[in-house]
Structure 1
Amino acid sequence: MKKNLHKISFLIFFLLLSGQLFAQGLKGKVTDSAGSVIPGATIQVIGAKIGTSSDANGQYALKFPAAGNYRIRVSFTGYETSEAQVDIDNTVKTLDFSLRDAKQLLLDVIVVGSRSSVPRTNIQSLVPVDLITSKDVRTFAQVDVTQILNYVAPSFSSNRQTVADGTDHIDPASLRGLGPDQVLVLVNGKRRHTTALVNINGTFGRGTVGTDMNSIPVAAIERIEVLRDGAAAQYGSDAIAGVINVVLKKVTPYSFSTSFGQSDSKALGREFNDGRTFQVDFSKGWAFKSDRGFINFAGQYLQRGYTNRGGLDTRPLLYSANPTKGATETEADFQARFASLKAADDARAAANGLDRNNMRVGNSDSKNGGFFLNGQYNFSENAELYFAGGYTHKTGSAAGFFRLPTQTTQIDLTIYPNGFLPLIDTKINDLSFTGGLKGKLGSWNYDLSNTSGENNIAFNINNTVNASLPLGTSPTSFYAGKLLFRQNTTNLDLDKKYSFDSGFLTSLNTAIGGEFRIDNYQIKPGEELSYSYGQPSKGIPGRMVGSSFTAAGAQVFPGFKPVNALNKSRHNISGYLDFEAEFGSRVTLEAAGRYENYSDFGSNFSYKFAGKIKLFGDVSLRGAYATGFRAPSLHQRYFNNESTQFVAGNPTQVLTVNNDNPIVSQFGVGSLKPEISRSGSLGLAGRIAKTFTFTIDAYNIDIDDRIVFSSQYARERGAGGVLIPSGVVNQILNTVDPNAQVNSVQFFTNAIKTNTAGLDVVLTNRFLLGTSSSLLLSVAGNLNKTIVRSIQGSPKIESDPTLKAKLFDRLERSRFESSVPKNKLNITANYTVDKLSFVARTVRFGEVTFLNAVDPNLPANNLPLQLDQTFSPKWVSDFSISYAPSKALTVTVGANNIFDVYPDKLYIDPRNNEYNLSGVSGSNYSGGLDNTSNGRFLFPRAISQFGFSGRYVYGKIACTF
């Protein structure tokens, strides 16, 4: 019995001891500054394999294997990380954490713009930087990056294009009024590859190659940094307007959101319920044990239906005879005959089911799915392995121009007796991977990395025909070929900060590095019938309609021919030096220089000087002067194809030739050179009374040798459309096209000098209205103006007035000077009270101007002045209400463009209205002179203001756990 009592006593003692050992712990609650709990916050014990997450009530609990002194770190996306030291003994201690909103102090740490490893906020930066957080990108209904930035960043402009081939699926973007290819995009500070697409149709950014930022899932983004200053000396080519750096998420809780919305517009006299959009995304970041690093996975799926805001086709739909007044016919008889023809045409159209609203003028149909990984593994305090990679697959369907039954050279009536609307369907794959090693070598920080990226676009043309084939034999779908662009970039960056205890110079940050980059561009041909005239491989000749040639290849997008196929590469090597010196606590100066050498056009040296002087408190005067350059892209050097484009409403076969083509040399144009820039900025930035921040920055940018896509050099015709044999363009085109199937030619050339000047203003203030409510107000504005200072062609072009006039016509000039808003103002209010949040935003998009290629001011043209049109400024307002029953769940309903605002309508010539030809003797049936393409375009597509889809209503559910 005594022996058993000893055993029982020992067991009780062991249990008590075990209880004491495992009673060593820490518990508590994680809340925000307003006292609301934060579920899913990460709690880590620094230097130990101990960690957990807060539960739905914000509670957490940690157990420790032994007593001791530990440092606890608590973090959550959108909040400042908090750390605390705690002495653990044989008890369970309580320690609560209150995390401050990252915006509350308005000290937004940025990476871009400086080579210094010391953290710096946007108001401390030497140059202007906008910072858009993950909260900003998820506040409203926009679900892709370019549309988010268009409404958040005042100097950024991007809109979806329509009836523009591949550009319908990849949005061109502008920063500070410059082109899509004059802004450099980075991901985690590493160069992002551009797309395989060069914009060749009649849209903003014509002739440029941009970066598809929409291939980066919004769910993967922690923040976006927009550097609004020339930075080629720091980052290399393309950074003339600035740099956009997308920073990926790190350690985050489980996050899931889904939204659904559609257009709900009634502003045009019709009701629209199209553009249905469904989005779902997910992200989660896991921390490795013992503070060894992290890995984050984020994915997104987006499905968007097409919208249509087209007008009614005013052309005759079922016959081609254009009524003209006979020599002996009275006006009354002519009008009666016209009315009879119109009535007959309308009746036949109705009987055949033809709708005069026969276009898709609006957003394309699109499905977009992709993911991103971002991670880091810490081998030691001095060596970290990092990586980031993503893949996105996007399919899209965009319509071209409707083909009428009367367009006999472009249609097969045995297949489409009522005409057809051809579709350009794309499959876009975008993939990238970055891997690198960074850390310390002695007193130097090092970063060695390699980034590879690829963008490829396959074109499939559907609901169409090759009209040159024998009647009834043409397929209705064609594979038209593929574009591909690859880029591989290797970087080595070293930096070291020297500190001095005394003297005039208090610190000097020195950075040195190099880069080696390889670019590859490919065009792969489509199937034979997508481009052929007839089918030569089977001895089938092309079909004729009377004495007219039928159009070769797939209607709307003839495929790439074997002669178009290419596989071109180049490489460049560069090195840079960057010095950043602090003179006491008030003065900081920076100097940077970069040398680049390209294998295809030579070398360039760029430099930059920047500085900041603290005037008082947290208010500083800052400024910069920089030179820069943009290397001509491989696309601009080598792209070539033949396409069907509609010019003044007429189908035109357009030949695009590259700089190696003999046609270009006949125009006297040589190889492309880099664009060279000189830019300066001066501004004030600071914080007053801890909650009010402001940045005011003026800028001026001069660019020489700017690359343009020439206007179309059309064949010269005389009376009755007869070709003029002696015409210079005819003689040149006849060398490659003696049958005159090609109507015009265009090419890339360094032709203009431009100046862009502007002002950016950003004001933000947060009002704390109590323990559970706050109001954030922000006002951001941009003013900018671009002018073309000079146009300079080759000696041959300059010597011929006809060639000179067509090199860069009025329409092309307006794409540079007035196709994006000259000013933009964004006013946003975010009011939070308890579990409710109200967000209101209104954006004023400034005026834009369209200039017709034909100058209506010349008396000889005798055209209405309304061919040129300025579209007035408009206010577009958004509103949303969010309810968060807990930190884990938020429900949002709202509307973008809540007042259903549209741009000004295009001017419509009265002679094109309701077929009214009264008083216009001898006019064509569709004889109006305007920019509506026979009434089918109600709004301009050659300029970029804010789109024309009208009101969009939506609902969203977001979960965090």
Structure 2
Amino acid sequence: MNPPRMSVFSRLSLISAAVASTLAAPALAQTVTPQAPAATGTAQAVDTVVVTGTRSRDRTSLNTPVPVDVLSAEDLRNAAGSNGELGSALSALLPSFNFQRQSNSGGADHVRSAQLRGMSPDQVLVLINGKRRHTAAVVNLESKVGKGTNPVDFNAIPVSAIKRVEVLRDGAGAQYGSDAVAGVINIILDDARTGGEIEASYGAFRTKFDPTGKTITDGQNTQLRGKLGWALGDAGFVRAGAEIGAANPTNRAGRDEIPFFENQTPPNLALQGQRNYRAGEPKVDNAALWLNSAYDWAPDLKVYGFSTLTRRETEGAAFFRYPDSSANVPAVYPNGYLPRTTGTSTDFALTGGAKGASTLSGGEWLWDASFGYGRNSFDYGLTNSANPSLGAATPRSFNLGNFTFEQATLNLDASRELNLGLAKPALFATGIELRRDGFSTSAGDAAAYATGPVTSSPAQSQGALALQPGDAIDVRRSVYGVFADLSADVSRELFVQGALRADRYSDFGSAVTGKLAARYAFTPAVALRGAVSSNFRAPSLAQENFSFTVTDFGTGGALASIRTLPANGRIARALGAPELKAEKSDNWSLGLTANPSRALRASLDVYEIRVKDRITLSERFSSTQLTNFIATNFGVAGVQGVNFFTNAVDTKTRGADLVITWTDRIAGGQARVSAASSYAKTELSNFKPVPAQLAALGVSGNLVGLEEQNTLTTAAPLTKHVLTAGWTGAQWGGTLRATRHGKATRVFDFGGGFTPTQQYDAKWQFDLEGEYRINKQFSVALGAVNIGDTYPTRSIADISYFGNFPYDVVSPIGFNGAYYYARVRYAF
């Protein structure tokens, strides 16, 4: 343990505790400017002021120089159905947002990754009330989408806490720092001074499952949410809420054909045709608390604070272990067993600060000072498992290790108007950011990796492997950033914005980014907008230092132990792995907006994102020489394959986003229709070859092989279209949404030229919700997601893992079928 490092976080924790105690006093406020009310539905009121991507105080969703989507609380409530997931709601509403479900994917069963504009999950920056959100601690190593990332956990943010979400679809590194390569998602919390609501929902999947010919009802999901606001006189407010929920797992496994590499013995063959595996949604139990508060301490001084606390327990599935197998202990599991992974995620965030106005150097400065602390802890485990080498003495449950990520951030921003003789005063903004990041892991149970007396069986827990003492790490880094931003209406028609930022990271160096954006209005109804920017993403602490072993597909498709080596570790360096560098990107976008009437608006934006030195997991490398080299030189035996994080390739993503919305009064109610489409295609170049050290051990090719190329380019759909129609009257309301999920491709590389590949066809999904307001307080809603019970293309035999997984996780429509729900709300 490093005492100086720990003392830094101890001091930050004390500061956090002090801020937390302040929350009990009527002296807190949120960090965004007052907003005009938004219309219900995806078509927002035309005068909605946005605060993401600009520090001007008069930019609306119609006149920003870059595209910004604004989603209301009502949008999110309807889109989330009854499962309460923020990620699912954003995916339903935003064509450029991808939130594919995972199964049998280790940590990804418990924390799902999201993509914006086809980029990696860690290339989108998430803010809460304009302040940087911390990432999850778990590192997804067995997933497809988001492989090798520790993304922000969107589902740790309560949906009931949200007033609206602003999604900036453009690079914003010069304004916010690292990670804002694809864009920024700013989640603005509910700030209502009075009133509240209680909401309960229940839903379940009901589907005809063709692979077994059965009708299945499962995935029962119950959610309860409540929130309340208190006005603190005329000076402030406190808004707080709570959520609890529980969801049963789903199972869409097919009938087992028994893998050919398993023993073809009577005990194993007796299971042929049964559903021995589990594929689908995990079991979930969650609880959340949140708070948002503000108080005008003085005429020119406001203090504020907000916080979220979420605890989620989840249970995923691993691969079945057959009765007559070296991985089984017949005395414990005479009929074989299905290991289940478990995860407990505890997520805490707290931000407090003050903002006000001060006169300095002959001008009035608006300033905002804040301190934020975020922490995510993930406890990874196994149940219904075994370490076969221990025989009948094996435990059935294991702790696999603990992962923790901490982030402490201090911000000071200031802005003032400058009279430059233009159409309006220009706005100059500047600020500094000091941040401290920490990532640590601890070892799991010794019994999970102990070598027992049964030498013919593997000496490791089955279903997932534990962190060993040599894998445990505790690393820190400091980040210092400074920015300047100038925006002005040069004329009545032309708005221009420029930003410059410099960041320094204690572990890898510095980065300087810039951005220039402009909007030119040909007429009050038609405008051209565009931006050019440079951006960067620093390698995460996990990517630099993380060490873990997973059970993944090896040669011929059989399961094997694949060790992810820390890029800065001794083994990776001995194999020639280069030191990680920051990703650097150049972004440009060009768009046309039209607002021919108050009811109708449209925008078309095209863009290109070029990323140099893209960080990804290398391909899995394996050879007998490699296994022997690691055992001989580092004393680590049984490593059947390795990979590591590396700047292995450059990427170019080109795309376009089209959004058309119409809203008007019809039949005594508010009607709204929208059509939104997204296209993003990624190409790879500048492949790095395997280092000479690896080549000498019988490994050939590039650092990024077929599977990782597939992850970066075609595993996510290139297109997505969302058509929505809704109407809200005095008592009745309803929404119909049609979504076309584009094609996706899955590629495996099992070695020896065996590379099964399949394209999953585009599919239409239809969602429907109707709501009836009994009176001003009570409302009841009924709805269905995927009401057509549509499934993806069936996987080919080489990908379905011997009939057990008839549908693949890469298809964004999912493979759970139709979901039906009911929701009751009481507002007061």
TM-score, structure 1 length as denominator? 0.79
**1:531 and 1:572, CA in 2 relative to 1: closer, same or farther beyond 3 A?**
same
Residue deviations 1:915-947 (CA, integer Å, cap 9, x gap): xxxxxxxxxxxxxxx011111111113x25221
Residue deviations 1:456-476 (CA, integer Å, cap 9, x gap): 01122111111111x211111
> Which secondary structure state, in structure 1, belongs to the residue aligned with residue 214 of structure 2?
coil
Match of 1:912? none
The match for 1:805 among 698, 701, 708 is 701
Letter in 2 for 1:675: E
Match of 1:874? 763
Match of 1:360? 278
Deviation, 1:730, is 4.1
Residue 77 of structure 2 corresponds to residue 138 of structure 1: yes
Match of 2:725? 829
The match for 1:474 among 394, 397, 407 is 394
Deviation, 1:729, is 5.8
> Which secondary structure state, in structure 2, belongs to the residue aligned with residue 654 of structure 1?
strand
Letter in 2 for 1:873: A
Residue 195 of structure 2 corresponds to residue 256 of structure 1: no
Match of 2:742? 846
Deviation, 1:894, is 1.3
The match for 1:271 among 204, 215, 221 is 215
Deviation, 1:703, is 0.1
The match for 1:557 among 445, 464, 474 is 464
CA contact (8 A) 2:669 2:728 kept: yes
Residue deviations 1:512-569 (CA, integer Å, cap 9, x gap): 10000000000011121122223xxxxxxx4212xxxx22232112221111111110
**1:219 and 1:804, CA in 2 relative to 1: closer, same or farther beyond 3 A?**
same
Letter in 2 for 1:960: A
Letter in 2 for 1:281: R
Match of 1:35? none
Letter in 1 for 2:395: P
Q: Distance in 1 between matches of 2:697 and 2:745?
A: 26
CA contact (8 A) 2:498 2:516 kept: yes
5 Å matches for 1:913-928? none
Deviation, 1:426, is 1.1
Deviation, 1:696, is 1.1
5 Å matches for 1:15-54? none
Residue 372 of structure 2 corresponds to residue 451 of structure 1: yes
Match of 2:18? none
Match of 1:497? 417
Residue 72 of structure 2 corresponds to residue 127 of structure 1: no
Residue 290 of structure 2 corresponds to residue 372 of structure 1: yes
Q: Distance in 1 between matches of 2:42 and 2:382?
A: 49
Match of 2:552? 645
Match of 1:288? 232
Residue deviations 1:154-177 (CA, integer Å, cap 9, x gap): 100002210011110111110000
**1:804 and 1:674, CA in 2 relative to 1: closer, same or farther beyond 3 A?**
farther
Residue deviations 1:80-102 (CA, integer Å, cap 9, x gap): 49xxxxxxxxxxxxxxxxx9999
Residue deviations 1:86-142 (CA, integer Å, cap 9, x gap): xxxxxxxxxxxxx999967433221101022x1321111111001110010111415
The match for 1:714 among 622, 642, 657 is 622
The match for 2:817 among 950, 956, 960 is 950
CA contact (8 A) 1:649 1:934 kept: no
Match of 1:18? none
5 Å matches for 1:138-287? 138-140=77-79, 141=81, 142-251=83-192, 252-268=194-210, 269-287=213-231
Q: Distance in 2 between matches of 1:100 and 1:760?
A: 22
CA contact (8 A) 1:123 1:695 kept: no
Match of 1:512? 430
Match of 1:306? 249
The match for 1:936 among 804, 812, 815 is 804
CA contact (8 A) 2:608 2:654 kept: yes
RMSD: 2.3
CA contact (8 A) 2:321 2:336 kept: yes
**1:663 and 1:602, CA in 2 relative to 1: closer, same or farther beyond 3 A?**
same
**1:234 and 1:79, CA in 2 relative to 1: closer, same or farther beyond 3 A?**
closer
The match for 1:817 among 713, 716, 723 is 713
**1:433 and 1:462, CA in 2 relative to 1: closer, same or farther beyond 3 A?**
same
Deviation, 1:799, is 6.4
Match of 2:15? none
Q: Distance in 2 between matches of 1:693 and 1:121?
A: 13
5 Å matches for 1:77-156? 80=37, 105-116=45-56, 118-140=57-79, 141=81, 142-156=83-97
Match of 2:347? 430
Identity of aligned residues (%): 32
Q: Distance in 1 between matches of 2:811 and 2:475?
A: 32
**1:656 and 1:738, CA in 2 relative to 1: closer, same or farther beyond 3 A?**
closer
Deviation, 1:850, is 1.4
Deviation, 1:736, is 3.0
The match for 1:625 among 532, 545, 561 is 532
CA contact (8 A) 2:690 2:701 kept: no
**1:212 and 1:316, CA in 2 relative to 1: closer, same or farther beyond 3 A?**
closer
Match of 2:13? none
Deviation, 1:832, is 2.7
Letter in 2 for 1:847: K
Match of 1:441? 358
**1:303 and 1:610, CA in 2 relative to 1: closer, same or farther beyond 3 A?**
same
Letter in 2 for 1:428: S
Match of 1:583? 490
Letter in 1 for 2:774: P
Worse-matched range after superposition: 666-675 or 371-380:
666-675
Residue deviations 1:832-873 (CA, integer Å, cap 9, x gap): 344111210000000011123259xxxx94x6x8x2111110
CA contact (8 A) 1:579 1:590 kept: yes
CA contact (8 A) 1:663 1:733 kept: no
Q: Distance in 2 between matches of 1:561 and 1:345?
A: 32
The match for 2:665 among 761, 768, 775 is 768
Q: Distance in 2 between matches of 1:483 and 1:165?
A: 14
Task: State the number of aligned residues.
Answer: 786
Letter in 2 for 1:395: E
CA contact (8 A) 1:204 1:819 kept: yes
Match of 2:301? 383
**1:801 and 1:421, CA in 2 relative to 1: closer, same or farther beyond 3 A?**
closer
CA contact (8 A) 1:124 1:686 kept: no
Match of 1:758? 655
CA contact (8 A) 2:608 2:653 kept: yes
Letter in 1 for 2:641: S
Worse-matched range after superposition: 99-108 or 166-175:
99-108
Residue 506 of structure 2 corresponds to residue 611 of structure 1: no
Worse-matched range after superposition: 800-809 or 742-751:
800-809
> Which secondary structure state, in structure 2, belongs to the residue aligned with residue 489 of structure 1?
strand
Q: Distance in 2 between matches of 1:846 and 1:419?
A: 39
Q: Distance in 2 between matches of 1:657 and 1:207?
A: 12
**1:585 and 1:664, CA in 2 relative to 1: closer, same or farther beyond 3 A?**
same
Deviation, 1:211, is 0.1
Residue deviations 1:329-371 (CA, integer Å, cap 9, x gap): xxxxxxxxxxxx88x965x44xxxx872011101110111101
Q: Distance in 2 between matches of 1:612 and 1:798?
A: 51
Letter in 2 for 1:492: L
Q: Distance in 2 between matches of 1:270 and 1:305?
A: 19
Q: Distance in 2 between matches of 1:672 and 1:564?
A: 19
CA contact (8 A) 2:792 2:811 kept: no
Gaps of 5+ in 1: 1-48, 50-76, 82-98, 323-340, 535-541, 717-726, 909-929
**1:642 and 1:174, CA in 2 relative to 1: closer, same or farther beyond 3 A?**
same
Match of 1:54? none
From the CA coordinates, give the structure whose radius of gyration is larger.
Answer: 1
**1:567 and 1:100, CA in 2 relative to 1: closer, same or farther beyond 3 A?**
closer
Deviation, 1:762, is 0.8
Q: Distance in 1 between matches of 2:262 and 2:84?
A: 45
Gaps of 5+ in 2: 1-25, 27-33
